[in-house]
Structure 1
Amino acid sequence: MPKRKELITGRKSFSFKRFFLQWEWLLVLAFIAVNIFDAAISPYFLDMNNILSSTMNFLDNAFIVLPMVFVIMLGEIDISVGSTVALSAVVMGVFYDKFHTPMWLAVLICLAVGALCGLFNGMIIVKFKEIAPMIVTLSTMTMYRGIAQIIIRDQSGGNFAPWFKFLSWGYLGSIPFILVVFAVAAVIFGLLLHKTNFGRRVYAIGNNEIASLYSGIQIGRIKLIIYTLTGFMSGVAALFLSSRMGSTRSDMATGYELNAIAMVVLGGVNIMGGRGRMIGAIIAVFIIGFLKYGLGLINMSSQVVLIVIGLLLAVSVALPNIKKSGGKQRKTEEA
């Protein structure tokens, strides 16, 4: 009877097995395992203050993850985000140091530069549909980083206003300010993806772009908004990273694109588009963040950290495909 009802309504009946086998529950188990690992190598990790303060070391990268979910949900990719962070931060530092711009105005310039970089990516991708987004953003990744190097060369900017340090090192009560801001941003992006028409259209485009086009969805407009938003959030990441470092350099945020993509894919967002949830990407942020923090506690080299992240990325891509192929094989045998 339940199967007949499913065929009529198009909805699957609730199943505890199906519910607890969702990818997000596997991520929760992975998150618990990472925390057990960190607690095992450091007796001080389980202190709540240490856990909260450790988020200051990786949440600046996490701001890029939120819009990257939308990009990958489209079935596309943006690998220029790290360079956008660097260019936004360098321009902010130059305006503050050399042109003596007020700090609040330099912050707005940083956000504007990030948004403009994202807008430029979106315009090229929408205008020249025959060029893959990876090629476009690979080109702009090199271009943005090159512009940052021309502006500041091998020097560094800094000497920011004292209040600017509060962004990455400040607390609201006992909770780091950056964690509060990220939580608010995560809720906003989660609601945008799952509770609005805009989010539903993103899912539709990721599942079938041609069908979405004939359904009247303004694909170009949605892509332009998403890439601009990605650039803007890269500017936000630039603010927090500059605050944490206390300076700006042209080589900052190197590898941020790999980290962001790894977190999104590990979070269960299908690299081909159309499937995934924001909560999975958010959990993945803390899995990779705490894992890197734990490996740092035992002075693990950065190369090993990259290998571990690469393995996580490979596993997160392979497991759903293994599960899917196993399901198809069972159906074939049953037939």
Structure 2
Amino acid sequence: MTSAQTMTAPSTSRYTILDRPGFRLGALLGRWESMLALLLIAVFAVNGALLPHFLDLDNLADGTFNFSEKALLALPMALLIICREIDISVAGILALSSVAMGLANSAGWPPESLFLVALLTGMACGALNGVLVTHFALPSIVVTIGTVSVFRGLASVVLGDQAFTGYPQQMADWGQGYFFGVLPREFTVLLLCAALFAFVLHATSWGRRIYAIGNNPVAARFSGIAVERYRFMLFVLAGAMAGLAAFLLTGRIGSTRPNIAMGWELEAITMVILGGVSIAGGIGTIGGVMLAVLTLGAVTFGLSLANVPGIYMTIAVGVLLLVAIALPRLFRRRQVAK
């Protein structure tokens, strides 16, 4: 072997190892979820360095209350967007479900029934959205922009300038309580729901059909998939999850007011899009959505510890939404240009 060959051998060997079919480091680092994981680590590192109490376990546990209910809205939203639909009315459904619980509680219904009231109210609102979209072939964004005004309007008419209070202790236990004094109940519910959604979407034929509908609804329909039935069920599911979020949020704050969960639909959509779900449909994972949830939660928690006003948090959420939508398009354009 010549001296030149001896000098180039190490670099050639290294190149061969990196290019083996089984070596997936490049593909792994190129995944959106990997970028989110690195961003989450960076957020924790920066906040931990700048804010002395950020990494305190009790503070981190308390911080999960700020995003758990919003994340429950984001999980079904992810399925809807993968399926080329969207639901702008989820926060309005949450408000109306909370009002329904307030009415039932004021009428003396037993505490155990309030969760069922919220769930059924949410499902009824979701079913209305589903019927309008699937049976009347109306665009979901137009339908849900209309119904969010209806749901918010009904809640405001019932409440006026008043508020429902005096909810039973059982609701406060779920909205504010901890399992074993360590793990927040709301966050536990979120983790269980995320695991269930991930299993259904990524490990069942039901999930594969959702991806098929999102990629090409016409082809999915010709292949025998009941496209409209799946879309309808997803809207009902979004309503049910809004009812669950209403139960937890109402128990946590102990009251129902006309402005409850105002603007949460934007934050739920931001979590989904930042999590790598394509607004064009057919692409996305629950893992990515949960990474986005944790990242946004860490950012907002850090800002609150730094006493940053809420309006700046809203601006930050809006900027993240624009970046999450724009970045994938820019990457695709660069790949096409190459």
Q: TM-score, normalised by structure 2?
A: 0.91
Structure 1 match to 2:57 = 48
Structure 2 match to 1:308 = 316
Structure 1 match to 2:95 = 86
In structure 2, what residue type is equivalent to 1:220? E
Q: Structure 1 residue 69 and structure 2 residue 82: aligned?
A: no
CA distance in 1, matches of 2:328, 2:69: 29
**Contact 1:59/1:182 (CA < 8 Å) preserved in 2?**
yes
In structure 2, what residue type is equivalent to 1:82? A
Instruction: Name which of 203, 206, 217 aligns with 2:214.
Output: 206
Residues 184-217 of structure 1: per-residue CA shift (max 9 Å, x gap): 1100000010111111111011111111111111
Structure 1 match to 2:301 = 293
Structure 2 match to 1:325 = 333
Q: Where has structure 1 moved over 6 Å in runs of 4 or more? A: none
Q: Structure 1 residue 249 and structure 2 residue 257: aligned?
A: yes
Structure 1 match to 2:27 = 18
CA distance in 1, matches of 2:156, 2:213: 37
Structure 2 match to 1:260 = 268
Q: Structure 1 residue 158 and structure 2 residue 165: aligned?
A: yes
In structure 2, what residue type is equivalent to 1:90? V
CA distance in 2, matches of 1:309, 1:113: 29
**Contact 2:89/2:144 (CA < 8 Å) preserved in 1?**
yes
**Contact 2:54/2:305 (CA < 8 Å) preserved in 1?**
no
Instruction: Name which of 145, 153, 160 aligns with 1:138.
Output: 145
Q: CA deviation at 1:322?
A: 1.2
Residues 251-281 of structure 1: per-residue CA shift (max 9 Å, x gap): 1011110000000000000001000111000
Q: TM-score, normalised by structure 1?
A: 0.92
CA distance in 1, matches of 2:323, 2:68: 23
CA distance in 2, matches of 1:93, 1:178: 20
1:215-254 pair list within 5 angstroms: 215-254=223-262
**Contact 1:37/1:294 (CA < 8 Å) preserved in 2?**
no
Give the greater-gyration-radius structure (CA). Answer: 2
CA distance in 2, matches of 1:298, 1:72: 34
Residues 310-332 of structure 1: per-residue CA shift (max 9 Å, x gap): 111111111111111111111xx
Instruction: Name which of 147, 168, 176 aligns with 2:154.
Output: 147
CA distance in 2, matches of 1:195, 1:261: 24
**Contact 1:87/1:250 (CA < 8 Å) preserved in 2?**
no
1:182-193 pair list within 5 angstroms: 182-193=190-201
* Number of residue pairs the alignment of both structures matches: 317
Structure 2 match to 1:96 = 105
Q: CA deviation at 1:151?
A: 1.2
Gaps of at least 5 residues in structure 2 are 1-20
CA distance in 1, matches of 2:253, 2:165: 9
Q: CA deviation at 1:103?
A: 1.2
Structure 2 match to 1:175 = 183
Identity of aligned residues (%): 37
